[in-house]
Amino acid sequence: MQIYEVKCGNKDGGFMGKLEFKDDGAYWEANEMSYTVKIMKADVERAEWCRTGKTGQLRLIQSNGSVTRFEGFEPSESKNLKETCSKLFKVELKTVKVDVQGKNFGKLKLEGEELNFHIDGKKAFDISLSDLSNSQVIPQKDEMVLEFRQTEGLSKRHESLIEMRFYVPPTEGMDEDDADSNKKGVEIFHDRIKEYVSKESGGEKISIFTQVRCRSPKTTFDVSLYLNIFKLHGSSYDFSVKYKHVTKLCKVPSVQGARGTLLILSLDPPLRKGQTMYHHVVLHFPEKDEDDKVPVTLPKNFDWKDIPGKVKDAIQPTMTGKSVDILGSLFQFLALASESKLKLYEKSQFQSNRDEESFAVSACIGASKGYLYFLDKCFVFLESPPQVIMYEQVETIVFDRKDQFTQSTTFDFKIKLDNGKSQDFNNINKSELKNIRGWFRSVCEHMFDGKKMRIEDDDSDEEEELKDAGNDDDDKHIKNRLAAEAGQDDEDDESSSEDEDFEGKSESSSEESSADEEGSSEGESDEDTKKKSKKAPKSKEVKAKKSKKEEKEETSTKRQKKDPNAPKRPKSAWLLFCDAKREDIVKENPDIKFTEVNGKISEIWKNLSSDEKKPFEEEAAKLASKYKEDKAKYDKENPSSSGGAGKKRKGEDEKEGKAKKAKKDPNAPKRGQNAYMLWSQEAREKMRKANPDLPMKAVMQQLGEKWKEIDAEEKKEWEEKAREDKERFKRETEEYKKKGPSLEEFEKAGEEDSGESEDSD
């Protein structure tokens, strides 16, 4: 028999392979994948031939109604195929005329297990019902949506038909029996197709949960469980999902809206509703005082071979308990029966700062507000869009600490995943920062041994607590003392540039710095030391804003590497007192929290008399004196490390910047502002009065949104004001040029002044 190189496929567009007719039937095998088709000669009921462009198509219709298409034959091969069908299959090869006008309107007919579309009496195309996975109806638009099964194992480059939509006139498809029915033609077609699709894909129903509320997508479903799939039946949409397509199962309490329990199903591939994809289905089960009773009916020939004994014992003919627990158990059981494993994530040891019984915190993704749940293996964001992220997918967690010294009451953090994507979580209450940081550190250490999930911009709890304790006005004398002692050797010690943020530091910060130095002396690399020094908190001192050019010049000068043999900076009296008292405080107060120890020490220090502080101050003075001697000796032995070469005196950078930057005339006219800037100045004051605690970032965002909503007439007024302001600037500039010095002369005078100031220095 001859071998043909043709395509075989239906909705997928076909795969190239080899077709061979043997004595017992037709055999086709794909070229690039392990996919074969066998059609026994006894099963072939009809055979059809049609021209499709430059090639021909052979269609073999079997007795069970299934249709197999082979496409890519040369037109001249129709005679050979006719003889083959006559001898091998004992059927006549019938030639079918195909309409090629390209019209999108015609007659839709359901013939056996095929849906045919005819135009002017000719067949335009046909759809095998065995290729359909679902059928949806939209009665308001008289539309029917057919969804196709997707072949598994296809490459991402392969294109496949996903769905087709048909508009069906209200009277189309009606028989005499349907004439008295209130149903439309689209509903009649849908019912007939749905009957076949449900029969093929469903099988025997095992259990059903009626009127289950769903938050994503927002609707109400009847959840029907079958052996290999489960179905979500809604008022206008139905979905069929295989258990192996459920990748994760999470159960969390509902803290937003109606109370109860939420069951989150993560799906791959996602549900598709129109153009919207739903990667997660969120089912809501309200709280009930009484347990539910759910009947479970398994097939008589059900194979219990691969089901563990513990799971087998849990499945009963009538299961009693909460519906959410029963449904979760059945999902896991039926997934095992489908040779896939499904885990349920529900445990959490995380505690919210505001509610110790809750493991969720309020957060936002963009403009969507919801709650972030911290489970032991993953975290879940609800409401929209739902997110389920496993900790093992996270590579880096970055805390946004830019507002740590401002009046902002919220913070943000970003997670970077191992697939290159990232996700921001915003507007989390600052009181939750400590618990969330500690939780991620715990997960990182215990789950990954610190090897995968890294935490950036993360300070120690002790340092944070000391910093908070230092915000009190009564502790200013302590901070001033620390600042003075920290800065006493700035000119002598090159490492003072690394410690310029020392003022106002807590004990833990200094201890951490000492620990870094000791670690370096024990063989730690300079690179690790640099990483630790980057984690030091920023100074509270407000520094002058530098130009981009100055910042570029400053960052371009590389800092010299720190010598591990250099003498270590001495501790102050306050830090020595902390070392002496910490152990006693813990012994006297066994129930005290670790973060409250430093606050207790601070109170004791404030109440000490001068005589009581004297021993610590004397010890600190001895350490400082010894440090000066060791430092002088070290500088003498290491002149290259003493900071002579390449180190500028304090203030030289500022003088350089002043010399390069021309002074601006304070009498020069101010530039004109645009319409938005004029409007925002007035609107900002009103908004700040109405919401004094609102961060400036949020204020600017709201102003931008309100400006977009302003009508054209009101904008026209502000545009007129902007035009007047622009004319004012033009007029004042002309007057300024006539009366005052030119801009070039003023810049020249500024350069001369800066040069004189340098000479005087």
Could you read off the pLDDT of 686-745 as tens digits, one per residue? 887 777 777 787 788 888 888 887 877 788 888 888 888 888 888 888 888 877 655 555
pLDDT band of residue 262 (cuts 50, 70, 90) is very high
Lowest mean pLDDT segment, chosen from 59-73, 199-213, 549-563: 549-563
Structure tokens that stand for 124 in this block? 């335009």
| C-beta of residue 230 within 8 angstroms of C-beta of residue 212 | no
Structure tokens at 458: 């993360």
Residue pointed to by tokens 């300070």: 459
pLDDT at 176 over 70: no
The CATH superfamily holding the domain 675-760 is High mobility group box domain (1.10.30.10)
Which residues are paired to 30 by β-bridges? 17
CA–CA dist 44, 90 (Å, integer): 9
Q: Is the pLDDT of residue 110 over 50?
A: yes
Tokens 């009103």, located at residue = 686
Question: Per the structure block, which two tokens stand in for 608?
Answer: 């000490």
Q: Can you read off the two tokens belonging to residue 260?
A: 């109860």
Residue type, 236: S
Residue 373 to residue 364: CA distance in whole angstroms: 12
At residue 633, the pLDDT reads 86
Q: Is the per-residue pLDDT at 651 higher than 80?
A: no
Q: Are 28 and 35 in contact (CB under 8 A)?
A: no
Over residues 314-331, the mean pLDDT reads: 88
Is the pLDDT at 145 greater than 80, yes or no?
Answer: yes
- What average pLDDT does range 525-530 have in this prediction? 44
Using only C-alpha atoms, the chain has a radius of gyration, in whole angstroms, of 38
Q: What is the pLDDT of residue 281?
A: 93
Q: What is the rounded average pLDDT of the residues 553-566? A: 61
* Per-residue 3-state assignment (H helix, E strand, C coil) for 621-638: HHHHHHHHHHHHHHHHHC
Residue 241, SS3 per DSSP:
strand
pLDDT (mean) for 170-176: 65
**Can you tell me the distance from the alpha carbon of 46 to that of 39, in angstroms, rounded to the nearest whole number?**
12
Average of per-residue pLDDT across 151-170: 76
Q: 291-317: per-residue pLDDT in tens?
A: 788 888 888 777 777 777 777 778 888
CB 394 within 8 A of CB 453: yes
pLDDT tens digits, 235-251: 777 888 888 889 999 99
Torsions phi, psi for 319 (to 5 deg): -100, 130
CATH label, 122-199, candidates 2.30.29, 2.160.20, 3.40.50, 2.10.25: 2.30.29
SS3 state at 715: helix
Three-class SS of residue 198?
helix
pLDDT at 52 over 60: yes
For residues 47 and 59, the answer to whether their CB atoms sit within 8 Å is yes
DSSP state of 495: G
Taking phi over 0 as left and psi of -120 to 50 as alpha, with beta for the rest, 302 belongs to: beta
- Amino acid letter, 36: T
How buried is 14 (Cβ within 10 angstroms: 0-12 exposed, 13-18 middle, 19+ buried)? Answer: middle
Inter-residue contact 10 to 69 (CB < 8 Å):
yes
3-state secondary structure of 493: coil
| Residue 545: how many other CB atoms lie within 10 Å | 7
Least confident of 56-65, 240-249, 486-495: 486-495
- pLDDT band, very low/low/confident/very high, at 264 (cuts 50, 70, 90): very high
Q: One-letter amino acid identity for 170?
A: P
Q: Which two tokens stand for residue 593?
A: 């929290």
- Is 535 within 8 Å of 508 (Cβ atoms)? no
Any idea which of 136-150, 439-453, 498-512 has the lowest mean pLDDT? 498-512
Mean pLDDT value across the chain:
76
Q: How many CB atoms lie within 10 A of CB 460?
A: 17
Higher-confidence position of 348 and 544: 348
Topology (CATH level 3) of domain 360-458: PH-domain like (2.30.29)
Q: Of the candidates 139, 114, 705, which has an alpha carbon nearest to the alpha carbon of residue 367?
A: 705
The winner for highest mean pLDDT among 80-89, 442-451, 484-493 is 80-89
CATH number of 202-345, picked from 3.40.50.300, 2.160.10.10, 2.30.29.150, 3.30.830.10: 2.30.29.150
- Distance of alpha carbon 537 from alpha carbon 169, whole angstroms: 70
**The Cα angle at residue 504 between residues 499 and 505, in degrees rounded to 5:** 60
Domain 465-537+564-641, second-level architecture: Orthogonal Bundle (1.10)
Does 406 score more than 80 pLDDT? no
> Which 8-state DSSP code applies to residue 649?
P
Tens of pLDDT, residues 360-394: 999 999 888 899 999 988 989 998 789 999 988 88
Would you state the pLDDT for residue 737?
80
Q: Which residues belong to CATH 2.30.29.150 in the chain? A: 202-345
> How does residue 175 score in pLDDT terms, banded at 50, 70 and 90?
low
How many whole angstroms from its chain centre is CA 602? 42
> Mean per-residue pLDDT for 413-423?
88
Contact 657, 548 (CB under 8 A): no
* Token pair of 371 as six digits: 């709650």
Q: Is 1.20.1250.20 the CATH number for 3-96?
A: no
What's the pLDDT at 239? Answer: 85
Question: What pLDDT was estimated at residue 173?
Answer: 58
Tokens of 254: 């509902």
Query: What's the pLDDT at 35?
Result: 80
Cα distances from 602 to residues 530, 538, 607, in angstroms, run 31, 22, 9
Average pLDDT over residues 496-522: 39
pLDDT confidence band for 152 (50 / 70 / 90): low
**Which range is least confidently modeled, 322-331, 409-418, 639-648?**
639-648
Looking at the chain, the domain(s) classified CATH 2.30.29.30 span 3-96, 360-458
Angstrom distances, CA of residue 341 to CA of 248, 333, 335, 338: 10, 9, 6, 9
Angle between helices 526-534 and 507-521 (to 10 degrees): 170
